Structure 1
Amino acid sequence: MGLLSLAIWLPIAVGVVLLAFGRDAWARGVRWIALAGSIVSFLVTLPVWTRFDNGTSAMQFVEKSPWIERFNVHYHLGVDGLSMWFVLLTAFITVIVVISAWEVITERVNQYMGAFLILSGLMIGVFCALDGMLFYVFFEATLIPMYLIIGIWGGPNKIYAAFKFFLYTLLGSLLMLVAFIYLYNAAGGSFDIAAWHRLPLAGTAQTLLFFAFFAAFAVKVPMWPVHTWLPDVHVEAPTGGSAVLAAIMLKLGAYGFLRFSLPIVPDASREWAWLMIALSLIAVIYVGLVAIVQKDMKKLVAYSSVAHMGFVTLGFFIFNDLGVAGGIVQMIAHGFVSGAMFLCIGVLYDRVHSRQIADYGGVVNTMPKFAAFALLFAMANCGLPATAGFVGEWMVILAAVKANFWIGLLAAVALILGAAYTLWMYKRVYLGAPGNRHVEELTDINGREFLMLTLLALAVLWMGLDPKPFTDVMDASVADLLKHVAQSKLP
């Protein structure tokens, strides 16, 4: 078993073991096993970074063995500069989520922890899969634990939200499966994604494949106008579910554009880039305006996620190295920042049991340590320099200006809107005199919450102050991808 297989199957194995602990009387032991399993799973991913060769765009840590031989399906894994950081990000966020649920989840603790660990392994599998059918299996399998997390531990309308999440993402993925079967036949009976990259596809076929991929990945990102499932799901999901959904699961869609749409159908990607840019700018501006009028903190951050992911797709379809690298950096930064924002909302919800902005006010008076963390993450969400939120957005705006001044100008409006809705929420929730008796009775964060927020704060500051380790990894792969896209594939 190679390093990537270990990163995938170790958390899944621990998660399956946890499912065997059926009684809540064993909850304390379950929590410690889940924490140990998530930490070891994260440590396993570290050599993927420390041994990674930044100088090549080739796949690294490759594993390949036959799986379904009759259909030439292989268990084929590997990472390059486009995917490596997401393996570490997934494992890191899983550790944070396990810590966040320590005292909050008191019923079916084994199932909750097990679902997150299994989900972690499946998501890492998506980022590592180099076989189309293996990718599809991992991509679809992630729906199951997240569906259960929302449907069992969610809010009052959890069943509605879980069904909406499942149906939206499943319907899009079915078109992707049709595209995979077409590519399998076009490649002479091969599910090898690298072989698909070399196929000389006709213009009509490229266009149809592009929109099949779009159906699957745009819903997952989610892009406007197929974003409507996200706010409902975030509002009903438990805190850990919202954190993982925003930090990792949304990235699966954006990663799909990088791994499939751009390299397999480059001509169609260039032809329909105007549509992708237009939809991205609508997400950045219109959804940013929608975020301003939200009264529920979770809904506000959910719409904020749609706006920030608009930067990602904008960067990808500008077709220059700064834009693509900026989009990937924005995905990583959004993983840290949005996860932290949802966990902060969870800290307040655990105490007051309300997500309504109007039910707070003056939290800084009773929770000064927590308010300091919340301010850092709010500033990162605004894109303040020296935080993770600044780097990717700035790279994408520079790339957009280089491509077209007006696109760059419209993208830059998002920074103003981001500051508007984030700081206005912070002002109403945290500043001023205590808003009511509940706020006056609040207690500041405990050691567990302090550890959880400190780890995220360090990640946000590290990426903001020293982004070079993040960008160095992806430079060679981004350059190779753009070179590939620039070469026409039309026969």
Structure 2
Amino acid sequence: MMALPLLGALALLVPAFLPGDDAVRRFGVGVSGATLLVALSALTAFDFGDPARMQLEVDRAWAPSIGLRLHLGADGISLPLVVLTALLTFLCLLYTVKHPPGDGRSVRLLVALVLVLEVGLLGTFTALDMIVFFVFFEVVLIPMYAIIAIWGGAARRAAATKFILYTLLGSGLLLAGMLLVAVNAGTLDLTQLARTHGAGVPRGVQLTAFALMGLGFAIKAPMWPLHTWLPDAHTEAPTVGSVLLAGVLLKMGTYGLVRVALPAAPAGAEFWAPWLGLLAVVGIVYGALACLAQRDLKRMIAYSSVGHMGFVLLGIATLTPVGVNAALFGNIAHGLITGLLFFLAGAVKDRYGTGDLDELGGGLLASAPRLAALLTFACVASLGLPGLAGFWGEMLALLGAYRPGGGLPRGVFLAFTAVGAAGAVLTAAYFLRLLARLTHGRPAGRAGPGGGAAVSAYEYAAWAPLIALTLLVGLWPKTLLDVTTAPVRALLGGG
């Protein structure tokens, strides 16, 4: 999976290879499509009867003198994110065939950067060595920085700089925490750390290491109040950048908490869990209130991610199988639904030349009924309507908070449950307000170059899989829960 996009990106460095932007875009679709096929073949080869076992492993010596190994693999926790990454990358490159961002800017460079980004994401979700994990974690930063800085909006440079500064700070904290655990545990191997559950690592070290790793991952998640880079990055990024940023990059933070921080420093996780839960529920309410104040469509969706990822972090903070399952479910649901929302926000901006809600006015149902219908579906899914993917992550996170892990203060988490539930109501409020404002009434918006244009075949092709999976996961949540439950129990020490 990683070799294909890497070779594709290297091939695009040759100027004489595939002259012409159309050929380059179709090459990107072909490479990412082949990568998706490999991901699907991994899905078919995976033994779902034993999802807690690490499968499809690669374990080779990388730097034997320091005990560093190229150790990769997938279990029920990482496999859904691997497939989501391959799918969203393919859909983004498919979308760019007819909707390339940036007039006159290099299509070749954009496709190459997206492919490198895919390599980093796939590596992050399959790495089973701390240093290998960190290397892939960092590989993602430069392509996303360049995508925002080159193809973004008017304030793209400032947004890209803010993104890279925040994430590099988080990376420094993360590396310090990882090395602290590795030195005391005597291993860099994540599977071994998961088996030992912190044995041999003093409690004080675990508290410090979890705080450092937690802050590093929280910036990427993003967790309030470390979220301020996100709205700017989303608002200025091109459509493909926003989709990948929301759909997959944010999951690196929450996945890292579950894969690395929880099993490596369980005592630290138990100590800091109430604080993580507090910041999570503040983020849920803050994100919803911020959405009610926004006048830009993409910025509103960006702030909604702060709230949705708050539910994911609340699930992790419960330290229970129900809560952590909710977090993993919420990761996938958010990737599908928010990826679709950013696709649709890009389509609105393409047609009307703006994402400003005041300039757009209302009447989208009259001027572009199919686009309005798809936007309505995505908003209703994101607000957590039962039967769609967004419902289960939020509901299970609140259930996990209602019954937190044995060592956690139940009264505090009951308060978190109540505040989180109020945040869920506010989430419904801002999405319904958006739909009332944008889709209903008489058309009053400024018609752009593509105002009212029909949805194209390429747009349908890029959006239909996300709609189908949102319905599938929402109607049959056991398709995900059956995969994640056993490895989560093993990760939490059989609890």
Q: How does 1:293-304 map to 2 (within 5 A)?
A: 293-304=293-304
> Is the contact made by 2:150 and 2:156 (CA closer than 8 Å) also made in structure 1?
yes
Say yes or no: does 1:456 pair with 2:466.
yes
Partner Cα separation in structure 2 for residue 437 and residue 23 of structure 1:
41
Corresponding residue of 1:489: none
Give, in angstroms, the shift of residue 26 of structure 1.
0.8
Tell me which residue corresponds to 2:476: 466
Cα distance per residue 1:367-421 (max 9 Å; x no partner)? 1111111111010111011111112111112222234443222211122111111
Aligned residues: 478
Q: For the residues of structure 2 that align with 1:246 and 1:41, how far apart are their CA atoms?
A: 20
Question: Which residue of the partner structure matches residue 341 of structure 1?
Answer: 341
Moved more, 222-231 or 46-55: 46-55
Structure 1 residue aligned with 2:396: 395
Equivalences for residues 108-187 of structure 1 within 5 A = 108-187=106-185
Shift of 1:23: 9.2
The alpha carbon displacement at 1:194 in A equals 2.6
Counterpart residue number, 2:190: 193
Question: Is the 8 Å Cα contact of residues 326 and 394 (structure 2) preserved in structure 1?
Answer: yes
Contact 2:376 2:435 in 1 (8 A): yes
Pick from 8, 23, 34: which aligns with 1:14? Answer: 8
Confirm or deny: 8 A CA contact 1:187 1:195 kept in the other structure: no
Query: CA 1:32/1:423 → structure 2, altered by over 3 Å: closer, same or farther?
Result: same
Q: Are the equivalent residues in 1 in contact too, given 2:353–2:447 (CA < 8 A)?
A: no
Q: Name the amino acid aligned to 1:37.
A: V
Q: Distance in 2 between matches of 1:58 and 1:175?
A: 30
Q: Which runs of 5+ in 1 are unaligned?
A: 1-6, 487-491
For residues 426 and 206 of structure 1, the distance between their equivalents in structure 2, rounded to whole angstroms, comes to 47
- Counterpart secondary structure, 2:61: strand
- 2:417 is the alignment partner of 1:438: no
1:85 maps to: 80
Quickly say closer, same or farther: Cα 1:264–1:354, change in 2 above 3 A: same
SS in 2 for 1:19: coil
Question: Mapping of 1:196-235 within 5 angstroms?
Answer: 196-197=193-194, 198=196, 199-235=199-235
2:26·2:97 contact (CA, 8 Å) conserved in 1?
Answer: no
**2:364 and 2:439 in contact (8 A); partners too:** yes
- Give SS of 2:235's match: helix
SS in 2 for 1:77: strand
- Hey, what does 1:414 align to over in structure 2? 423
Asked whether the 8 Å contact 2:278–2:416 carries over to 1, the reply is no
Equivalent-residue separation in structure 1 for 2:185 and 2:72 (angstroms): 19
- Aligned partners of 1:370, 1:409: CA distance in 2, in Å? 35
Q: Which amino acid aligns with 1:156?
A: A
Partner of 1:326: 326
Q: Is 1:42 matched with 2:43? A: no
Q: Name the structure 1 match of 2:410.
A: none
**Whole-angstrom CA distance in 1 between matches of 2:178 and 2:401:** 32
Matched with 2:409 is none
Query: What letter matches 1:301 in structure 2?
Result: I
Does the Cα contact within 8 Å between 2:337 and 2:382 map onto a contact in 1?
yes
Q: CA deviation at 1:25?
A: 5.7
Q: 1:99 aligns with which of 94, 101, 110?
A: 94
The AA in structure 1 aligned to 2:226 is V
Aligned residue for 1:146, secondary structure, equals helix
State the alpha-carbon separation in 2 of the partners of residues 264 and 441 from structure 1: 53
Per the alignment, residue 356 of structure 2 pairs with: 356
Partner amino acid, structure 2, of 1:442: G
Contact 2:5 2:118 in 1 (8 A): yes
CA distance in 1, matches of 2:210, 2:294: 34
Q: Equivalents in 1 of 2:16, 2:155: separation in Å?
A: 26
Amino acid at match of 2:191: A
- d(CA) in 2 for partners of 1:162, 1:260: 27
1:453 & 1:195 partners in 2: Cα distance? Answer: 40
Aligned counterparts of 1:405 and 1:186: Cα–Cα separation in 2 = 36
The RMSD of aligned alpha carbons is 1.7
CA drift of 1:22 comes to: 6.8
- For 1:264, the equivalent position in structure 2 comes to 264
Amino acid at match of 2:403: K
1:263: how far off? 0.6
Partners of 2:218 and 2:378 lie apart in 1 by 27
The farther-off stretch of 198-207 and 262-271 is: 198-207
Structure 1 residue 286, shift from structure 2 partner? 1.8
Q: Please tell me whether the aligned partners of residues 183 and 196 of structure 1 are also in contact (alpha carbons under 8 angstroms).
A: no
Q: Structure 1's 140 and 366: CA in aligned 2 closer, same or farther, altered over 3 A?
A: same
Runs of 4+ in structure 1 over 4 Å off = 21-25
Paired residues of 2:184 and 2:200 also in contact (CA < 8 A): no
Q: Counterpart in 2 of 1:283?
A: 283
Q: What residue identity is the alignment partner of 2:26?
A: W
Letter in 2 for 1:30: V
1:57-76 superposed Cα distances (whole Å, 9 cap, x missing partner):
12111110011122111110
Partner of 2:22: 28
Structure 2 unpaired stretches of 5+: 405-412
2:119, 2:422 → 1: CA distance? 37
* Contact 1:18-1:34 at 8 Å conserved across structures: no
Q: Work out which of the residue numbers 54, 60, 72 in structure 2 matches 1:59.
A: 54
Offset of residue 186 of structure 1: 2.2
The amino acid of 2:489's aligned partner reads: A
Instruction: Return the TM-score normalized by structure 1.
Output: 0.94
Question: % of aligned pairs identical?
Answer: 36
Aligned mates of 1:466, 1:209 — CA distance in 2: 38
Deviations 1:113-155 (A, max 9, x none): 1111111121010000011111111001100110110111011
Q: Aligned letter for 2:346?
A: G
